Amino acid sequence: MKITAKFNIHNLIKDTRQLEKKHSSLIVRNAFMDAAFRTQRLIRLRAYPKAFNPRNKGHVKAVSAIGAGESNHIYSKPQIKKRLTRRLSSQRRADLKIFDATGRDGKGKEYMERHARGGIKTAIDGRHIAVPNPQNIPRKTRGVRKSLRPTQLLAPKKGPRAKPGFIIKKGGKDLIVRRTTKKRYPLEPMYLLVPSVRIPRSFPFYEDGSQFTKLFRAAYVKEYNFRVNRIIKKKY
């Protein structure tokens, strides 16, 4: 009994090259998206809780967002997929951006980026930044209660239970205080007024973001093997 098996390796190589050329944009697009969303997940679920005490779980969604291109515009997954496909097919390159979503208002409120880079925060009005006294200013899930914010404390109040705040100078420092009773003393320190505050680097946004390259390589290999095997199995 004689058994003969023939396999045209040249055709296989040719088909594999055509397959890679035809599906390369799709493979890169899917690997890009997989790596980007996994990197974003690392930033939201590992870097953010490590740097802050996330009392409001909904705020985690605002930490970072994914955009296609240079603008800080949040796109949905179908929109990102469409834009990547178009850019890869026409220009053979594409850009994804994981950015600080707290700075999308264009008013310089890149809260997360300041904590990621560190630096000095100065007063918007050029005069004072109100630093809350943690003993007297409890923080809720949405930050400081509205009635305890500096503008509300300093606003004129009427009524027997009103506790208007005012500014005093003590030890060369400006303080926002309020009376705890109708008597002149004691005074309750609420805020320290300073011209600027130093923000240390505490949010490893870029350190965790650097994982993208590693995740992209793994996603590319996985996506490439999946698509090549699926199509070759159909033909051979």
| Tens of pLDDT, residue by residue, the chain (236 residues) | 666 666 667 776 777 777 767 778 888 888 988 998 888 888 888 888 888 766 555 555 555 566 555 666 777 888 888 888 888 888 877 788 787 777 655 555 667 777 888 877 777 666 787 888 777 777 655 567 777 777 777 777 666 666 677 888 887 788 888 877 777 788 888 888 887 778 888 888 888 888 888 999 999 999 888 887 887 777 66
- Are 192 and 228 within one domain? no
Cross-strand bridge partners of residue 120: 198
Tell me whether residue 183 is in a domain: yes
Quickly list DSSP for 26-68: HHHHHHHHHHHHHHHHHIIIIIHHHHS--S-GGGGGGSEEEEE
Q: How far apart are CA 33 and CA 184, in angstroms?
A: 62
Tell me, what's the pLDDT at 63?
Answer: 55
Q: How far apart are CA 233 and CA 226, in angstroms?
A: 11
pLDDT by residue (tens digit) across 147-180?
A: 777 777 777 766 666 667 788 888 778 888 887 7
- Are 205 and 188 within one domain? no
Collapsing DSSP states into helix, strand and coil, what is residue 114? helix
Tell me, what's the pLDDT at 67?
Answer: 56
Query: 185-192 long-range CB contacts below 8 Å, 24 or more apart?
Result: 188/136, 189/133, 189/136, 190/132, 190/133, 190/136, 190/137, 190/148, 190/150, 190/153, 190/165, 191/130, 191/131, 191/132, 191/133, 191/137, 191/150, 191/153, 192/130, 192/131, 192/133
- Are 26 and 103 within one domain? yes
- Are 150 and 40 within one domain? no
Tell me, what's the pLDDT at 200?
Answer: 83
- Are 24 and 74 within one domain? yes
Identify residue 83 by its one-letter amino acid code. R
Tell me whether residue 1 is in a domain: no
Tell me whether residue 178 is in a domain: yes
Domain holding 100, by residue range, is 9-118+201-235
Residue 192: φ, ψ to 5°: -105, 130
Number of domains within the chain: 2
Tell me whether residue 2 is in a domain: no
CB 87 within 8 A of CB 177: no
Tell me whether residue 181 is in a domain: yes
Tell me, what's the pLDDT at 218?
Answer: 93
- Are 183 and 141 within one domain? yes
* 166: nearest Cα among 183, 151, 154, 179: 154
Tell me, what's the pLDDT at 217?
Answer: 92
Tell me whether residue 3 is in a domain: no
Tell me, what's the pLDDT at 178?
Answer: 81
Cross-strand bridge partners of residue 140: 143
pTM: 0.63
Tell me, what's the pLDDT at 10?
Answer: 75
- Are 48 and 82 within one domain? yes
